[in-house]
């Protein structure tokens, strides 16, 4: 569907395109391509040295592969320690926190942008200030709190913290889109006697699908990679997450670049996969949105 749309629009463009436009386009493409090379090169390098041994890392040019790819780097990393356990923990904590954050943030953003109440600016302010506190000054008070709630060494403490700390930024991302969203549909729905809950769940939430996916990706990245809270609130090894594992592993191989590369690759693969799956949803969401608009 998107390709069809693109083809249509490029055809309409081409009629008005001059030779000068072609040159500009060429330059634009060059810039875009250079930028993507800069963004992707270090990762390619990472992939390459994860398949080499030390000799090859130091003696071959950085962007060449050895004749024999050393997949055993991956095998040796994967066979060590608790990786599968860490992996499952990371997945479910990330999923639950992201879902909770998005739902709560959408509620709040809806109430702030659509509903009428006097304390809106104050409450919005409360959420925004939450972004500004440096994580490390919260560690001791938060540990105290969870201790009192008997939630230390319990993954609920992570879900609650991730949700709370991601709410402000999520609300902030949603806010701009809610303001820009046309209100006519909702107003009509309310006139027809639709309840607020139905307006929210059946009209507004679907309309914000694209930004929700954006916010979800951002949330996901934060939660997946977080380790300070994990190390502080969780003490049992089988409750910890993948970043902690990566941290512990990287230390071991300080002299073995191949193994470091393999560890890092393993830690980013799942999120990479999730990203490519979800990211297509954004495009669909955006396309759907723009058709409506």
Partner 1 sequence: MEKVMSNKGIIALYVLPSLLLIIAIIYLPIVLTGYYGLMQWDGISPMTFIGLENYSTLLHDEKFWSSVYHSFLFAVLSTVFLSVYMAVALVLSGNIRGANLFRKIYLLPMLLSSVAIAQLWLKIYHPTTGILNDFLTSLGVKETPEWLADPSIVLGALFVPILWQYAGFYILIYYAAFKNIPASLIEAARIDGASPIQIALRIKIPLISEVIKVTIVLAVVGSLKYFDLIYVMTDGGPNGASEVMASYMYHKAFRGFEFGYGSAIGFFLLLICLVATWGIRKLTETKDSIQYS
Partner 2 sequence: MKRKMLAACTLILALVLVVTACGSGSNNGKKNSSPSSSDSGASKSSDEKITLKLMHLWPDGSNSAQNKVIKQIIEEYQNANPNVTIKTEVLENEQYKSKLKVLSASNDLPDVGFTWAAGFMEPYVKGNMFTSLDDLLQGDLKDKFVAGTTDGYAFDGKTYGLPVELNIVPVYYNKEIFAQNNLQPPQTLDDLKNIIKTLNDKGVTPITLGAKDAWTASFWYMYLVDRFGGPDLLDKSIASNTFSDPSLIEAAKQAQELVDMKAFVKGFNGLSNDEAKSEFMNGKAAMYAMGTWEVPNYTTNPDVPQEFKDKIGYFKFPTVSGGKGDVSDWVGGVGVGLFVSEKSKYKDEAKKFVSFFVQKWGEHSVTDAGIIPATKVDTTTVKLPQMFIDLLNELNTAKKVTLYADVQMKPVASEEHHNLVQALFGKAVTPEEFAKKQEDVLKAGK
Largest CA distance in the chain: 73
Which range, of 66-74, 196-204, 250-258, 274-282, touches partner 2 by CB under 8 A?
250-258
- Kindly identify the residues of this chain, within the stretch 55-84, that bind partner 1 according to CB under 8 A: 57-58, 62
134 binds partner 2 (CB under 8 A): no
The span from the CA of 45 to the CA of 258, in Å, is 11
Q: Does 258 bind partner 2 (CB under 8 A)?
A: no
Of the candidate residues 98, 160, 230, 262, the single one contacting partner 1 (CB under 8 A): 160
User: Residue 137 interacts with partner 2 (CB under 8 A)?
Assistant: no
User: Given the rule CB under 8 A, which of 19-27, 84-92, 112-120, 265-273 is the region that contacts partner 2?
Assistant: 112-120
Interface with partner 2 includes 144 (CB under 8 A)? yes
Contact 54, 257 (CB under 8 A): yes
Ranges within 204-263 binding partner 1 (CB under 8 A) = 210-211, 214, 217-218, 221, 224-225, 227, 243, 246-247, 250, 257, 260
Contacting partner 2 within 208-247 (CB under 8 A): 231-232, 235-237, 245, 247
Residue 29 touching partner 2 (CB under 8 A):
no
* Chain mean position to CA 269: 14
Q: What is the CA radius of gyration of the chain?
A: 24
* Joined tokens for residue 93: 């904590």
Q: Which is nearer to partner 1, 25 or 235 (CB)?
A: 25
Q: Does 264 bind partner 1 (CB under 8 A)?
A: yes
Alpha carbon distance 70, 73 (integer Å): 6
- The yes or no reply on residue 23 touching partner 1 (CB under 8 A) is no
CB 231 within 8 A of CB 23: no
- Start-end of H helices in the chain: 2-16, 19-49, 54-59, 72-78, 83-114, 120-129, 139-148, 155-180, 184-191, 196-198, 205-207, 209-225, 228-233, 242-252, 257-292
CA distance 6 to 44: 29
Interacting residues with partner 1 between 274 and 293 (CB under 8 A) = 275-276, 279, 282-283, 286-287, 289-290, 293
**Residue placing its CB nearer to partner 2 in the complex, 50 or 208:** 50
Helices 83-114 and 242-252, axial angle in degrees (round to 10): 130
Using the minimum distance from each CB to partner 2, give the nearer residue, 76 or 185. Answer: 76
With CB under 8 A as the contact rule, the residue among 185, 196, 203, 205 that binds partner 1 is: 196
Shortest distance in whole angstroms from residue 41 CB to partner 2: 21
């Amino acid at each position: 569907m998107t390709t069809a749309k693109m083809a249509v629009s490029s055809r309409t463009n081409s009629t008005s395109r001059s030779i000068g436009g072609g040159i500009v386009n060429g330059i634009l493409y060059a810039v875009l391509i250079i930028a993507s090379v800069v963004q992707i090169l270090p990762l390619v390098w990472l992939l390459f040295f994860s398949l080499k041994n030390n000799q090859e890392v130091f003696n071959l040019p950085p962007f060449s592969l050895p004749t024999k790819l050393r997949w055993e780097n991956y095998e040796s990393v994967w066979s060590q320690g608790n990786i599968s356990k860490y992996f499952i923990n990371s997945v479910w904590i990330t999923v639950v926190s992201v879902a909770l954050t998005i739902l709560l943030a959408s509620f709040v953003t809806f109430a702030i942008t659509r509903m009428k109440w006097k304390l809106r600016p104050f409450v919005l302010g409360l959420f925004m200030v939450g972004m500004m506190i440096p994580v490390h000054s919260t560690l001791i008070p938060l540990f105290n709190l969870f201790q009192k709630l008997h939630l230390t060494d319990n993954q609920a403490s992570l879900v609650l913290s991730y949700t709370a700390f991601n709410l402000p930024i999520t609300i902030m991302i949603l806010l701009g889109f809610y303001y820009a969203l046309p209100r006519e549909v909702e107003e009509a729905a309310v006139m027809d006697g639709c309840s607020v809950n139905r307006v929210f769940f059946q009209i507004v939430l679907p309309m914000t699908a694209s930004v929700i996916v954006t916010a979800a990706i951002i949330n996901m990245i934060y939660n997946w990679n977080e380790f300070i809270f994990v190390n502080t609130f969780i003490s049992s090894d089988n409750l910890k997450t993948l970043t902690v594992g990566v941290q512990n592993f990287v230390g071991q191989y300080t002299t073995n670049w191949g193994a470091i590369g393999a560890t890092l690759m393993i830690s980013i693969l799942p999120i990479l996969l999730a990203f490519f799956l979800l990211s297509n949803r954004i495009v669909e969401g955006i396309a759907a949105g723009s058709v409506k608009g």
